[in-house]
Chain A
Amino acid sequence: MINPREYIEPGSSWPLGHAVPDQPATHTVKLNINGQDVHLKIEPWVSLLDALREYIGLTGTKKGCDHGQCGACTVLVDGKRINSCLTLAVMKQGCEITTIEGLAKGDELHPMQEAFVEHDAYQCGYCTPGQICSAIGLINEGIANTRDEISELMSGNICRCGAYPHILDAIEQVKGVAGHE
């Protein structure tokens, strides 16, 4: 009998990239992900998104289009939000990469994660990691002040389930608290 909670416990260790045919094109790439160094033997055309999902097993970052059109793959690189599908892994050596898996501190969720749960800022949850990383990136940018501005600057992250008003509620809550600090 399968227990669905099995799937949702964080993996304790990351499986390192599986066997790749030893083609002359593979390089060793060193990435710093969520504060941990990971060595991968991959081809230079592997996107950061595929490196995370298929080689490292960090599947929290989602693929919704692979073309920079949906935002599902948003991660933070040196605190800035980027589409990891439009970035090659090899280009991000020496950067600090933060994915959805790296936001919580142990059992304690990041305030943005808490706010998403509280405001039901999702349905299927597939766009959610991208929305959360994007929202944190947006707050880091410090440009969006009103609800309309947040809405405009969150428009690179599609949510087909249509959770937009709740996503704004969640971001406003986190921004409000952060603003008072």
Chain B
Amino acid sequence: MSLLQKLGVSAENLAPEITGKYIGKPISRVDGRAKVTGNAKYAAEFNIGTGILYGYVISSPIAKGKITAVNARQALSQKGVLNVFTHENVPGLAWFDRSYQDQDAPPGGSPFRPLQSDEILFSQQPIALVIAETFELARYASTLVHFEYEVKEELNVGLELNLYKAKKPKKHRFPVPKPRGDAEKALAGSVVKIEEAYYHGYEHHNPMEMFASTVIYGDDDRLTIYDKTQGVLNSQSYVKSVFGLSEDEARVISPFMGGGFGAGLRPQYQLYMAVLASLELKRSVKVVLTRQQMFSFGHRPATLQKISLGASAEGKLQAVINRCYSETSTFEEYTENVVNWSGQMYQCDNVMLDHKLVPLDLFTPLDMRAPGGVTGMYALEVAIDELAVKAGIDPLEFRLLNYAEKDQNLDKPFSSKELRECYRQGAERFGWNKRNPEAGATLEGNNLVGWGVATGCWEANQMPSRAKAMLSADGKLTVSSATADIGTGTYTVMTQVAAETLGVAMEDVLFKLGDSVLPMSPLQGGSWTMATVGSAVKLVCDQLKAKLFKMAKKVENSPFGNSKEEDVVFADRCISLKEDAQQYLTFTEIMRKSKVNYIEEDTTSLPNMLEQNEYSRFTHSAVFVEVKVDQDLGTVHVSRVVNAVAAGRIINTKTSRSQVLGGIVWGISMALHEDTVMDDNFGRFMNTNLAEYHVPVNADINDIDVIFVEEHDDIVNPLGVKGLGEIGIVGVAAAISNAVYHATGKRVRDLPIQLDKLL
């Protein structure tokens, strides 16, 4: 029987494609024109030429100790320098930790408070803010501020150096499941086993746009804050509680964001600094971080996973053990879901998982694209590959052999899981059945060629959200929610959903986001925006439809006197009878005849937790990779990637493809490029710039193929979408590692795989 037959799914028994006029179509972004003409405005680009003051942040050169003296006299003597804020002159602000806790702050802990103490907790800690009339002057004056320090010698950096300090977190954001079966015993009894450790170091998000906040000080003493953030409401509530402002006194706006990847899930310190200076000076202030300073806050934590797997001679998984160690700061306990995947991805009755934290003298780690997921799935999927090799079974077959039909962590069925079909379609497109089973055996010129596979997985969550919709008599629809578009296509997909639901053209819809005066929406993260805000947009448009139909029934000589909503169609700005399309009323007629200029609805969409809690809800993918490794130089090129993704309904095939593509580029980056290197003596990152912190450039990226596998899911949310922000990256680093092994016969277990590890 062929591998594909074994997968047991044929193309025929797939449900028909779900598409509508707009939903499911490759639609160009509604904000595309703004982006290609330079008219899209990002946080640092507002109110230029109106006398805004510039703030320049000074970063600590030491990693641990105390500031013993500050001398800002020389800086202040410069004409045009207005102030130098340091811990010595910053006014008393909110006292309690909880005032500084934003929506993505780790539970408990004491969030970092800039400029409020002489203590230095991490390298590049912001220690002063220089305010001047021009950027050039602020930057120059920053070199004139003198500090004296008392350096604390004993420094805790380097994860592996400090493993002995590991401890269980007080509160894990993703509780680790209790052991099931007896993993140690099952491991001992397994015929095939591996015990290995997998590691990756620190990574920094590095969105192209640096963090920036422009605070406009209004005549009425109110602040309008343009902030780089993944959640305007999060920034607003932080500013409110830290500075004791009311909602009206601090409005936060963010129409565009030059990339987030998780970095904007917590308010970064430039926001605090710009607001502080603005309130103190009663002037408008802009603070933009430098690229170097983009390495001075949250990052993906260095993580070590010690994994033991055992299987029977036939390749049935019998034991899974994952003991994980990841870093946190000395002041907060950052946790992410690293190990739970090990208990969920494959059918196995004996599982033991553990996750401990090692506090280091660094800033608190921060969610970075697929936090925990990329880390946990990287290690697990490499370990599974190693086990398959030991068992002498094709790694794809091995995965099918141990396919999880239900989520054993939660003991629940999956709401949907088309992973088998991902494997099948991906394998077919990639040509997996032509794979040479032997490692290090395929030569092409001077390159060793290797093929690898890995599985990807990410949560499909829905959160509560509000949305508002207003239809005016001219047929224009305005829908709004305080969500974000960090490059994900939110403007576009929400416009599609609204237009589709109400039966108007996309050109007649305006979707507003990124403003704290708009209806509540959660942070943009976790791949939940489409599910969350999309559901709210659909709901509010459905309610608007009902309202409009009710009005239509009441107008004089209404053709809908006895009809129900199911009997009519909303299309082309009209309501018409299904039976007889000639019987219709335009939206404009309905409103004119009812003597209203517009109708409005405001609603809250809540996930149906009762139903959702019965199921385990995840997105899945299968990643196939070809690498070429130069025999002499050890350089690795990813020549081909096929990523087959089952993520429920796809709203926009064009922007979705971009999202997954971007995720794959991130996966390649994680596997081969990205690494923030720590100087263990000084506790300082050494490569804090884009020349030395490598991310892929155009020439590093070759052929990438994205497949969206049909998947129907009525449980996850009313739209049946699962989100795509993270799934594209998960599994890629493992597939590359496995391909590198297949090419060279060398197993590298720490990322990134740089050439020295292959020589």
User: A interface vs B, CB < 8 Å?
Assistant: 1-5, 7-10, 15-21, 23, 43, 45-46, 50, 53-55, 57-67, 69-70, 72, 99-101, 103-104, 109, 113, 116-118, 120, 122-129, 132, 148, 151-152, 154-168
Contacts and interface: CB of A to CB of B under 8 A. Distances in A.
Contacts of A4: 31, 255, 491, 510, 512-514
Contacts of B663: 162
B698 A124 contact: no
A109 B59 CA distance: 43
Interface in B21-65: 28-29, 31-42, 44-45, 48-52
Contacts of A160: 206-208, 259, 261, 695
A152 B48 CA distance: 36
Given A118-B28, A123-B659, A164-B696, A128 B49 contact: no
B664 interface: yes
Contacts of B514: 4
A19 B31 CA distance: 33
B661 interface: yes
Interface string B597-620: 000000000000000000000000
A151 B703 CA distance: 12
Q: How would you classify the secondary structure of chain B's contact residues: helix, strand, loop or mixed?
A: loop
B392 interface: no
Given A18-B50, A72-B208, A155-B697, A61 B512 contact: no
B580 to A, nearest CB: 39
Contact of B253 (A2, A67, A120): A2
B28 A120 contact: yes
B690 interface: yes
B79 interface: yes
Contacts of B512: 1-4
A72 to B, nearest CB: 6
Interface centre among B45, B258, B701 (most CB of A within 10 A): B258
Contact of A16 (B41, B49, B51): B49
Contact of B698 (A15, A18, A161, A164): A164
20 contacts: A7-B34, A8-B255, A16-B49, A18-B48, A20-B133, A43-B134, A50-B135, A54-B134, A59-B45, A59-B48, A63-B44, A69-B690, A117-B28, A120-B658, A125-B34, A126-B259, A159-B208, A160-B259, A162-B662, A162-B665
B654 interface: yes
Nearest to A127: B208
Q: How would you classify the secondary structure of chain A's contact residues: helix, strand, loop or mixed?
A: loop
Interface of B: 28-29, 31-42, 44-45, 48-52, 79-80, 133-137, 206-210, 253, 255-261, 288, 290-291, 486-489, 491, 510, 512-515, 517, 654-655, 657-659, 661-666, 669, 689-691, 695-701, 704
Contacts of B133: 19-21
B38 A60 contact: yes
B48 A53 contact: yes
A33 B48 CA distance: 17
A8 B34 contact: yes
Contacts of B659: 123
A66 B690 CA distance: 10
A104 to B, nearest CB: 6
A44 to B, nearest CB: 10
B28 A126 contact: no
A8 B658 contact: no
Contacts of B256: 7, 124-125
Contacts of A61: 38
Given A19-B133, A50-B136, A64 B691 contact: no
Contact of A162 (B32, B39, B209, B696): B696
A150 B657 CA distance: 22
A126 B665 CA distance: 17
Given A109-B37, A117-B29, A21 B137 contact: yes
Contact of B49 (A57, A65, A101, A156): A57
A155 B48 contact: no
Contacts of A45: 136
A57 B39 CA distance: 11
A128 B36 contact: yes
A157 B31 CA distance: 22
A66 B291 contact: yes
Nearest to B703: A165
B139 to A, nearest CB: 10
B36 A165 contact: no
